[in-house]
Amino acid sequence: MPRLSKKTMFAIEAVLDVAIYVGDHPVRSGDITERQRIPKRYLEQVLQHLVRAGILSGKRGPRGGYRLGREEGQITLGEIVRVVRRLEAETEPTDPSIGSPLAHEVVWPMWEELRVGMMAELDKITIAELGQRARAKGLNVAATAQQAKHLAV
């Protein structure tokens, strides 16, 4: 199966973190790094590409950060994976001479069929659905913290 790279996982986590934790103010990249334990060097690069793709919107400055570029029900995992694949393609050279005729004529075409099928499935999964799964697992810490504030007042 196609691999789930670190950058892909970090991108999905970052978008989901923004969806869960955004409030009156945008989500700061430092907060994403802290909560999700994503190395800053990976995160900044991934966030920039997600903004360029319209998945996130970014605001600079002391009260800056990130918000979703559109409604969470309109952002799919397939989109996020494609953004990261383009990013990785920029940094990972490919050599078409690698592999035998058997690989080129049988294995790679079969692998491509699997990849296309997997991407079609990823296009069906939205950030809204992942947010629901996170809440069902009790992972919506932002809502819990807000509820605790209201109870203390």
Q: For residue 91, what pLDDT is reported?
A: 62
Of the listed ranges 21-30, 32-41, 89-98, the one predicted with least confidence = 89-98
Phi and psi at residue 68, to the nearest 5°? -65, 145
Q: In this structure, is residue 1 part of a structural domain?
A: no
Q: Which helix (H) or strand (E) holds 115?
A: helix 108-122
Average pLDDT, stretch 35-57?
Answer: 94
Q: How many domains does the chain have?
A: 1
Predicted TM-score of the model (pTM): 0.82
Q: CATH number of the domain that 123 lies in?
A: 1.10.10.10
Phi and psi at residue 108, to the nearest 5°? -60, -40
Residue 151 confidence class, pLDDT cut points 50, 70, 90: very low
Across all residues in the chain, what is the average pLDDT? Answer: 86
Q: In this structure, is residue 48 part of a structural domain?
A: yes
Phi and psi at residue 88, to the nearest 5°? -65, -35
